[in-house]
């Protein structure tokens, strides 16, 4: 990958020394500028683990991605800067499953800095804002509260309340290719939440903004605000101005989004 192009994409102009300060600054810069999104699934495009394709999509086409793409790209950038990065797998919403085939729902990163392991994750959508030391305890980042627990070889990350479920994991190193089967399953199975609805998430200076289907939610220290998107014009505006994506994506997605939202409202009444 072209490291400088990636740094330009995330609007990062700081130090490239492999320090904790650099790691944290890069982590925030990535989350502030690149949205978590699964739109390709609903556009009929295959999500792959090909590094060149992911780089082209996120950096050159200025799109976002999901965990396999976001943390895959982030790990490449960190390694080019001299960071010691290990890929880990995790099981979303449940304790670690263990074994070579388990814990592949979500790709996370273990980064060693000055002999201290740090958990980094720019691919959970509404998860961590900053990397955290791999140690048991409570974590506060701005107004967001997290917790990390350990039982034997199993760890569990409790996400902040508005972020949804956490994930269980072990420190078993993974290969990037090892996530291929689960990556395929999550984008093709009718039982997958990624298949059932479109999502976009992004951190902002004062909190989080999330678009799930036709519901836009803003989360900040002052509380939560929701808006129901009712027109293509508004959907295009949100995709473009809130998440920094090409507004023409909305033209291809809106009919499906609107239909799923209508059915959801009918079932809820």
Q: From the centroid of its chain, how far is CA 241?
A: 19
Degrees, nearest 5: CA angle 9-104-198: 55
CB 123 within 8 A of CB 71: yes
Catalytic residues: 67, 106, 121
Query: Among residues 165, 177, 232, 185, which one has the least CA distance to residue 41?
Result: 185
Written as six digits, the tokens of 29 are 């810069």
* Residue-wise DSSP of 218-261: EEETTEEEEEE--SHHHHHHIIIIIT---THHHHHHHHHHHHHH
């Amino acid at each position: 990958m072209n490291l400088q192009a990636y740094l330009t994409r995330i609007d990062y102009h700081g130090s490239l020394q492999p320090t904790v300060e650099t790691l944290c600054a890069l982590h925030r810069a990535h989350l502030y500028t690149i949205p978590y999104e699964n739109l390709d699934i609903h556009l009929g495009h295959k999500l792959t683990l090909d590094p060149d394709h992911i780089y082209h999509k996120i950096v050159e086409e200025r799109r976002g991605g999901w965990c396999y793409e976001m943390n895959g790209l982030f790990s490449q950038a960190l390694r080019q800067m001299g960071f010691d990065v290990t890929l880990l797998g995790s099981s979303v919403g449940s304790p670690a499953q263990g074994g070579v085939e388990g814990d592949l729902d979500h790709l996370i990163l273990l980064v060693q800095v000055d002999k201290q392991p740090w958990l980094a994750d720019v691919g959970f959508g509404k998860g961590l804002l900053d990397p955290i030391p791999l140690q048991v305890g409570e974590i506060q980042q701005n107004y967001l509260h997290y917790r990390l627990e350990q039982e034997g070889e199993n760890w569990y990350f409790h996400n902040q309340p508005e972020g949804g479920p956490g994930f269980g994991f072990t420190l078993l190193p993974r290969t990037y290719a090892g996530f291929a089967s689960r990556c395929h399953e999550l984008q093709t199975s009718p039982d997958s939440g990624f298949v059932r609805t479109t999502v976009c998430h992004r951190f902002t200076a004062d909190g989080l903004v999330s678009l799930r289907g036709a519901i836009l939610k803003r989360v900040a220290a002052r509380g939560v605000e929701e808006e129901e998107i009712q027109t293509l014009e508004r959907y295009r505006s949100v995709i473009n101005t809130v998440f920094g994506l090409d507004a023409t994506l909305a033209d291809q997605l809106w009919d499906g989004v609107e239909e799923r939202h209508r059915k959801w409202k009918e079932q809820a009444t």
